Structure 1
Amino acid sequence: MLINKNITYIEKKKNITKWYIIDAKNQNLGRLSTQIAYLLIGKNYNTYTPYLKNSINIIVINSKFINITGKKKEQKTYKKHSGKPGGLKIENFQQLNQRIPNRIIEKAIKGMLPKNTLGRNLFKQLKVYPNTIHPHSAQQPTLLKLH
């Protein structure tokens, strides 16, 4: 009789969602976004399964105080297109940080998530706010220090 020793354990779905709050003040954009994407995907748990959604919600505060290294403040560009002829809009980091500071972190993290329905559902679990004010105090988020 053959016994298969390579048994995969799949955890049963729990309705317990964990809320974490991360302060982006004086953090580097790339390092912060990779750690947040790692947490959203759930690779920090031993029950990680690549095709299952994680039950973690992350709140990022102080997004307008994010740092980037080098000359990227002047050189990094963000493009969007309306789909119409001549509808390409280009702005650099400083302009976008003054207008919509949340979009910078959201775009960086969304690029690191899977490009499928799982990635789109994981992105919905991320909330980004430019200040320390957020409407999720009822969920009692725990402060997470990232290094």
Structure 2
Amino acid sequence: MNETFIPASDYTKKKWYVIDCKDKQLGRISSSIVRLLSGKIKSYYHPAFDTGDYVILINAEALTVDRHIERVHVFNPGRPGSSLKRIVNGLPQQIIEKCIYGMMPNGLAKKQLSKRLKVYQGSEHPHTAQNPIHVEDIENFTNNV
């Protein structure tokens, strides 16, 4: 009789991946990152268990965005006048995090998966102790694993 394989929590150690965002499109890289974070690229993926990995994004400011992402931020609420300010393509770290957060499946694991995403604006990151794997081509990487 065949039984479904259910991975235990200590079945595998979580891997760390470094992805360079330089000259890559926001939507294409985001969908691949969500697959890495949720663990859907693994052969033992199960939606009820946590099989995802950690993802480090570097050079977030060099990511190409097709359209202007315009945000309205409230500064000094309660004071009349110029409390609303428009920011166009500002804060690339928040733009990437919000895009990836919106692509994640709804549920209890959404916050847990989003905590595994680390976004940095420069090419340096403080996670060298985890021995991250540098990924060159993210779109083909997720299809071949």
> Which portions of structure 1, spanning 4 or more consecutive aligned residues, are displaced by more than 3 angstroms?
79-82, 84-90
Q: Summarize deviations over 1:24-83 as a string: whole Å, max 9, x none.
A: 0000011011110111111101111112223411000000000022xx13xx3234568x
1:8 aligns with 2:1: no
Q: Which runs of 5+ in 2 are unaligned?
A: 140-145
State whether residues 16 and 55 of structure 1, in contact with CA within 8 Å, keep that contact through their aligned partners in structure 2: no
Aligned-residue CA RMSD (Å): 2.3
- Counterpart CA distance in 2 for 1:60 and 1:9 is 32
Q: Distance in 1 between matches of 2:55 and 2:23?
A: 18
Counting matched residue pairs gives 133
Residue of 95, 101, 114 corresponding to 1:110: 101
Kept after mapping to 2: 8 A contact 1:25/1:63:
yes
Structure 1, unaligned stretches of length 5 or more?
Answer: none
Q: Following TM superposition, by how much is the alpha carbon of 1:89 offset from its aligned partner in structure 2, in angstroms?
A: 5.2
Aligned-residue offset at 1:101? 2.0
Matches of 2:107 and 2:70 in 1, distance apart?
25
Residue 51 (structure 1) aligns with: 48
Partner AA of 1:32 in structure 2: I
Question: TM-score, with normalisation over the residues of structure 2?
Answer: 0.80
Percent of pairs with identical residues = 34
